[in-house]
Amino acid sequence: MDLSKNGLTRSFINCLAEVKDEPEFSRSADRLKFAIDGEGQAAIKIAIGNMPLDYDLWEDLRNPATIGLFPAGLPEIWDFYANRRKKKVDETGRPSIFQMPQSFTYAQKNYSRAVIISVMLPFSESIIDNYISQVIDKKKGSSHTFARMYEDINKILDKTVSRVATEMAIDDTNTIVLPMTGDIVNALSSEALPQTKQGLSHGPGKGGNYPQKSIAALLGLGQFGISRIIFRDEIVNGKVHRYTGPIRSIVLFDKDNLITDGSGGIIFPAGAW
């Protein structure tokens, strides 16, 4: 699969078009209020970064008031994947009475980089404006429309991310692909970290031990605003257009060379950056 920004954007748009026509969503198409671009397609926003496996995603950022004390990095993400796919063989391939997950050391020896794709499916601007107007002007009204939109778009983004990840895995069986959906993040937190590093022991932040919003900020997808909401500003027809919406990501471990020159829209988060 094409891992460039343009190629991945096309993949997400195509998969989203398939998912939204499934029975679960087709009956409520009028409620799928995500933003549309000038070509009538979903205004999906993505950012991509690649890094060596020994890169610390959260260097100097561990704080109970923001991302938490024990955010999951590449070692924990790998351990979660390996434990779910453990086999009754050791790392040399010899049969074993134990179920032995492949260690992170194995990953470092066999994969040259990790790739993280962060994706946002922005809410419809008209519904956000209507909701804000109700709050600011203290108008009588219901937030039901916004709540249903929020629920629907989160569900459709989870399914879209899973489908794109499946296509990636099919295209290249030598690449490890993990769709970081809501369910996977919850499972990662409970399976790859001990209870002493979860919940309030980790910090008050939502989203378990893998902060999707902070990943988005690190990769340049958007920036934090009030209440730690991620937003993205773009110039559209000479005016600033603000996007905000649910965020998910995909993590890959592959054998390709690191991209350090920004080609394909892929960020290399070096120290200076």
Asked if pLDDT for residue 93 goes beyond 70, the answer is no
The pair of three-digit structure tokens given for residue 91, joined into one six-digit string: 């790392």
Split into its structural domains, the chain has a count of 1
Chain segment 136-146, per-residue pLDDT in tens:
776 666 666 67
In a domain, 180, yes or no: yes
Taking the C-alpha atoms of residue 191 and residue 86, their distance in angstroms, rounded to an integer, is 14
CA distance 102 to 109: 11
In a domain, 87, yes or no: no
Q: Is residue 138 part of a domain?
A: yes
Q: pTM score, two decimals?
A: 0.90
Q: Cα–chain-centroid distance for residue 9?
A: 14
DSSP state of 142: -
What percentage of residues in the chain have a pLDDT greater than 70?
86
205-251: per-residue pLDDT in tens? 667 899 999 999 999 999 999 888 899 999 988 889 889 999 999 99
Query: Average per-residue pLDDT in the chain?
Result: 87
- Given this model, what pLDDT does residue 247 score? 96
Q: Which of 38-52, 126-140, 180-194, 258-272 has the lowest mean pLDDT?
A: 126-140
Q: Mean pLDDT over residues 10-21, rounded? A: 92
At residue 253, the 3 state secondary structure works out as: strand
**In contact, 171 and 2? CB cutoff 8 Å:** no
pLDDT score at 147: 76
pLDDT score recorded for residue 189 = 93
| pLDDT surpasses 90 at 24 | no
| Structural domain includes residue 158 | yes
Question: Percent of the chain scored above 90 by pLDDT?
Answer: 56
Which amino acid makes up residue 248?
R
Higher pLDDT, 145 or 202: 202
Q: Is residue 83 in some structural domain?
A: no
Task: Identify whether 107 is part of a domain.
Answer: no
Domain assignment present for 155: yes
Which pLDDT value is given to residue 172? 86
Residue 215 sits in which domain range?
5-78+113-267
* 272 within some domain: no
Name the band, by pLDDT with cuts 50, 70 and 90, for residue 132: confident
257 pLDDT more than 80: yes
Cβ–Cβ under 8 Å, residues 222 and 246:
no
